[in-house]
Amino acid sequence: MQIFRIFLVSFYIILPSLLTIHSVYATPFNHPETWKKVDISKLLKTSTIHHIEPMRKFLTEKGKKAEFNGEVFLVTLDDQVKAVFKKLPADDLGDAQAEVAAYQASLILGFPHIPPTVMRKINGMTGSLQLYIDTTIDPLVPEEYEKALQEVSIEDQMNLRTFYFIFGQWDSGPHNLLIFKDINKTYFIAIDNSGIRNRQYVKLGELPFVRVLYSDKLNTNDYDKPFPFDKAEVIDLPNEENLKQRFKKQIPTIFYKNFQSYNQPFRFVIYQNSLWRQYHAFDNSFIISYPTQCYDDTIKAIKKLDLPLLRKIFIAAKGSDFLNNSYLNAILERRDQVLRHCLKIK
């Protein structure tokens, strides 16, 4: 599983005398409110590619950090519109398909703010192409992020958390946000939403357990049983030796080589021949994604979700290995958790 963490920034100046979206921002589509009114997807899909350069090079020349993995490019389209292209292997486009689905979900729900995203093939490479957003504010600077938390409307923050919980964006936080300001409002823009492709189990108000691998050798024989939240285990020092001592030859050796502890204990569950990891379990600063306030428009929007609508949202992922009825029903189950929660607190 690849997780692209990209902080994309550039420089622009807002002059007080420039009052319209078209004159204030670098492109007509840079403002989040335009994404619901203009069909930018067609431009992203069909526009001529005028220039393409490695995103790492672009950011480095701007004096910015390039904190991401994989092959990522900055693409210049017609009318100087810029977009971010993430190349993926042709036999595993799940991350890109999930990013496209996240954008489609934002259009149908009316939240959160996600840049227009499409699938596209460029120079023989296939991946996701997402509108590039200009912003000078770095959410990885704690002071900037804390300031934005005070400025972004509570409703927008609750809607973002609702989306994260229902669609399963478990890897949330400032590293997957952009902060965008206009004259009157501050916006959180949700990027890097590929995590929604991952199967998971979660109770509202808690952290999810995310499936990280499958192995027949685990031989759990529990397909008729519910997820065992109460059977979670912890390895305090999850180095290669301790991991092998616990799992032995039940899981592929590549897992031990690639495992990242993030300098924290490892909390997990074994269920249905799979290893499920609870990320951020020992990070006290991590904000768990669920709404603490509910709004009528939000409730109305998520009530619309059903299997046919979810299939429409995930149309770009049709035929992918993660998209099946079990995956879609899990989204609806999490939606129902939110509805029950809202009924209690309203």
pLDDT at 1: 42
pLDDT at 67: 67
DSSP state of 211: E
Query: Rounded to an integer, what distance in angstroms lies between the CA atom of residue 103 and that of residue 35?
Result: 10
pLDDT at 334: 99
pLDDT at 27: 62
Per DSSP, the residues of 213-270 read EE-GGG----TTS---GGG-EEESS--HHHHHHHHTTSS-HHHHHH---TTS-EEEEE
| 91 φ/ψ angles, rounded to the nearest 5 degrees | -95, 5
Query: Rounded to an integer, what distance in angstroms lies between the CA atom of residue 26 and that of residue 218?
Result: 53
| Contacts with 177 (C-beta within 8 Å, 6 or more apart), sequence order | 139, 145, 188, 189, 190, 191
Burial (0-12, 13-18, 19+ Cβ within 10 Å), 69: exposed
Buried b (16+ CB within 10 A) or exposed e, 268-280: bbbbbbbbbbbbb
**The tokens of 212 are what?**
């990280």
Q: Is the bond into 32 cis (omega within 30 degrees of 0)?
A: no
| Contacts with 239 (C-beta within 8 Å, 6 or more apart), sequence order | 261
Q: Radius of gyration over alpha carbons of the chain, in Å? A: 21
Give me the sign of the Cα torsion angle 239, 242, 246, 248. Answer: positive
3-state secondary structure of 93: coil
What are the residue ranges spanned by the domains of the chain? 208-277, 290-345
pTM of the predicted structure, to 2 decimals: 0.89
C-alpha count within 13 angstroms, C-beta hemisphere, residue 54: 9
Nearest to 109 by CA among 207, 35, 176, 204: 35
DSSP state of 113: B
**The tokens of 217 are what?**
């050798």
Burial (0-12, 13-18, 19+ Cβ within 10 Å), 56: middle
3-state secondary structure of 195: helix
Say if strands 266-271 and 274-277 run parallel, antiparallel, or are unpaired.
antiparallel
Query: Rounded to an integer, what distance in angstroms lies between the CA atom of residue 103 and that of residue 116?
Result: 6
pLDDT, tens digit, 9 for 90 and up, residues 9-30: 332 323 232 233 333 334 678 8
Distance of CA 328 to the CA centre of its chain: 17
pLDDT at 155: 98
Query: pLDDT means per 10 residues in the chain (346 residues)?
Result: 38 30 53 84 94 89 71 93 92 93 97 97 95 88 94 98 98 94 95 97 98 97 97 97 95 93 97 98 94 98 98 96 97 99 92
Buried b (16+ CB within 10 A) or exposed e, 178-209: bbbeeeeebbbbbbbbbbbbbbbbbeeeebbb
